[in-house]
């Protein structure tokens, strides 16, 4: 949608012209609808004869299983039907105000972007009439699990391996939150300076222990954005006028946010000038003191000096990597970091260097969040499948250039990842050992580096080559091409043997239990085998 060519918000009419008609939509979050009843009643009393007010309750609770994206699509369609009740080719209202409390704020933002064309570039009808989005304690960055009550954190930990829950979508760093934030910032960057951009108001209770002002960096850094604190209000009680210490004072804050002229506020964290931003991400059996810091120091000597970011998700063993839900959990921190840096350095070129599990995090991020963009990507000891769809990633312009370095004695990739694939874990594989099934001028592969799993990033000469690639796109390393690796055959065999060994183990346990008439020997065998496997993974 071309923002420059779009029609700005209609100005108030005068004289014999038809009066403006206003549509106000309130979207509930996870709290009970009764808590906002008084607010909704007062809003309706402020509207004129031709105006309309609608309440939309997605009936969400913390145990809900609905996908937020699906609910946002339903809300978009619902607003379209309300705004064009008689003629689908014409919006019946001159002014539309959208209000969302808590998770309802996420739905309002998403529905607005859907109609505006922020996801598919196909603009719909009603968005150009939206003058204001009022977000009441909306978790724009997502909520931090560490801020939840203890029982809620325990519930999350127990439920995560078994199913998808609505609340998971709303966590900081979830694919849903990250995609929404990136699309939101990209879209409003296009609208900056045009009257079409609506006012965006974020109201936050001064006693909110779930959301902070810093969580709205993506909302507040635009010319028509305003942030306001509401005294004596917590997260769930912000729209509750009757339950407020001073109901009239609460209404004054809410009325001002919904109907009165606004003064934009200055964000707490200023937007930086465009720069070159480089993510450097470690893999398994690594922590803070790794090759990451040395690469960052090398990059600091480049001119112009790039902004480097080397987040650590702590020590991550091969045993942890072998567990699917533990492996996936590291993704959230990366996505949260990316969206925060994107907000701060919008318009910058982003690059990535990752080793081992760091490449897994990147692969999942690119697949689950299409809005993520990197110019150059460096992979070492990659644990992604050979069949990873890099062609689609390149065609979507998520990545412009890829380099993949492979080592000849990379046991974790050659054997462990191959075995995990044999056990049905198809999100991992041997792309960092056998290479990827990709033929493209934008993809470069270098092998064999003589050494183990970490040699590609610990070799000092190659580290300089990595930095040159990230900054310029060049820097081909000097590696041996002959002979090949002695792990080639064992790697292929591991994928076939892993399920056979697993089936044989289960059958053996059944036989032992049947012969002995007791389950104790079987449990003892499982325990010993589990310890042996764990120690083997630790040493891999």
Query: 42-75 pLDDT, tens per residue?
Result: 999 999 999 999 999 998 877 777 889 999 999 9
Average pLDDT over every residue of 365-384: 97
Cα–Cα distance measured from residue 285 to residue 491, given in angstroms and rounded to the nearest whole number: 21
Strand ranges of the sheet holding 225-230, from the earlier edge strand across to the other edge: 52-56, 22-27, 95-101, 130-136, 199-205, 225-230
Full 3-state SS string of 339-404:
HHHHHHCCCCEEEEEEECHHHHHHHHHHHHCCCCCEEEEEEECCCCCCCCCHHHHHHCCCEEEEEE
In the chain, what percentage of residues exceed pLDDT 70?
86
Average pLDDT over every residue of 157-186: 84
pLDDT class of 413 with cuts at 50, 70, 90 = very high
pLDDT attached to residue 191? 78
Average pLDDT over every residue of 482-501: 88
Among 26-35, 76-85, 146-155, 529-538, whose mean pLDDT is lowest? 529-538
Rg (CA), the chain: 27
Average pLDDT over every residue of 509-519: 73
Cα–Cα distance measured from residue 530 to residue 540, given in angstroms and rounded to the nearest whole number: 15
**Could you give the 3-state DSSP secondary structure of residue 437?**
coil
Bridging pattern class, strands 443-449 and 399-407? parallel
Site of tokens 């449990």: 523
Bridging pattern class, strands 199-205 and 130-136? parallel
Cα–Cα distance measured from residue 333 to residue 317, given in angstroms and rounded to the nearest whole number: 17
Report cis status (omega within 30 of 0) of the bond before 304: yes
**Per-residue pLDDT at 504 exceeds 60:** yes
Please enumerate in sequence order all residues whose Cβ is within 8 A of that of 316, keeping only pairs 6 or more positions apart, or say none.
283, 284, 285, 286, 330, 357
Kindly report the number of other CB atoms within 10 A of residue 71's CB atom. Answer: 24
**Per-residue pLDDT at 163 exceeds 80:** no
**Per-residue pLDDT at 84 exceeds 90:** no
**What residues does CATH 3.40.50.1820 cover in the chain?**
20-259, 276-472
**Could you give the 3-state DSSP secondary structure of residue 68?**
helix
CATH number, span 276-472: 3.40.50.1820
pLDDT attached to residue 412? 92
Site of tokens 């705004």: 83
pLDDT attached to residue 503? 84
CB 481 within 8 A of CB 450: no
CATH number, span 20-259: 3.40.50.1820
**Per-residue pLDDT at 190 exceeds 80:** yes
**Could you give the 3-state DSSP secondary structure of residue 529?**
helix
């Amino acid at each position: 949608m071309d923002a420059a060519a779009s029609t700005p918000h209609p100005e108030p009419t005068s004289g014999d012209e038809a009066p403006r008609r206003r549509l106000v939509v309130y979207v509930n979050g996870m709290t009970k609808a009764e808590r906002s009843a008084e607010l909704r009643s007062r809003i309706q009393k402020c509207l004129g004869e031709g105006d309309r007010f609608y309440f939309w309750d997605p009936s969400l609770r913390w145990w809900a299983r609905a996908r937020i994206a699906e609910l946002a699509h339903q809300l978009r369609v619902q607003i379209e039907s309300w705004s064009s009740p008689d003629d689908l080719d014409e919006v019946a209202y001159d002014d539309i105000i959208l209000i969302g409390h808590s998770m309802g704020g996420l739905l309002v933002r998403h529905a607005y972007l859907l109609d505006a064309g922020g996801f598919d570039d196909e603009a719909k009808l009603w968005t150009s009439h939206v003058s204001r989005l009022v977000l009441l304690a909306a978790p724009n960055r997502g909520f931090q699990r560490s801020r939840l009550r203890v029982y809620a954190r325990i519930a999350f930990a127990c439920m995560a391996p078994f199913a998808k829950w609505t609340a998971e979508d709303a966590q900081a760093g979830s694919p849903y939150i990250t995609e929404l934030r990136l699309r939101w910032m990209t879209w409003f960057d296009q609208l900056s300076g045009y009257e079409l951009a609506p006012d965006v108001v974020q109201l936050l209770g001064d006693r909110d222990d779930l959301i902070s002002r810093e969580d709205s960096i993506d909302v507040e850094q635009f010319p028509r954005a305003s942030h306001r604190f509401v005294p004596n209000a917590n997260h769930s009680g912000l729209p509750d006028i009757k339950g407020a210490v001073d109901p009239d004072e609460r209404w004054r804050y809410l009325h001002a946010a919904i109907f009165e002229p606004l003064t934009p506020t200055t964000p707490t964290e200023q937007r930086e000038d465009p720069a070159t931003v480089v993510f450097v991400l470690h893999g398994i059996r690594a922590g803070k003191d790794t090759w990451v810091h040395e690469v960052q120091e090398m990059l600091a000597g480049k001119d112009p000096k790039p902004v480097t970011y080397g987040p650590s998700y702590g020590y991550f063993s091969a045993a942890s990597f072998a567990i699917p839900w533990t492996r996936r959990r590291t993704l959230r921190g990366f996505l949260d970091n990316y969206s925060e840096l994107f907000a701060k350095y919008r318009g910058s070129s982003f690059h990535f260097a990752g080793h081992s599990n760091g490449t897994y995090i990147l692969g999942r991020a690119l697949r689950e969040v299409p809005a993520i963009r990197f110019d150059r990507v460096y992979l070492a000891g990659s644990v992604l499948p050979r069949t990873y769809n890099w062609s689609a990633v390149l065609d979507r312009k998520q990545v412009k250039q890829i380099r993949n370095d492979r080592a000849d004695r990379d046991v974790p990739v050659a054997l462990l990842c191959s075995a995990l694939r044999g056990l049905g874990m198809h999100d991992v594989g041997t792309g960092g050992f056998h290479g990827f099934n990709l033929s493209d001028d934008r993809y470069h592969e270098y092998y064999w580096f003589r050494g183990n799993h970490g040699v590609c990033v610990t070799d000092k000469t190659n580290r300089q080559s990595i930095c040159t690639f990230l900054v310029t796109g060049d820097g081909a390393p000097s590696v041996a091409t002959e002979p090949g690796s002695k792990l080639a055959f064992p790697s292929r065999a591991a994928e076939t043997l892993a399920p056979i060994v697993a089936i044989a183990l289960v059958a053996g346990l059944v036989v032992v239990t049947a012969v002995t008439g007791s389950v104790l020997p079987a449990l003892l065998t499982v325990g010993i085998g589990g310890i042996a496997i764990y120690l083997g993974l630790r040493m891999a």
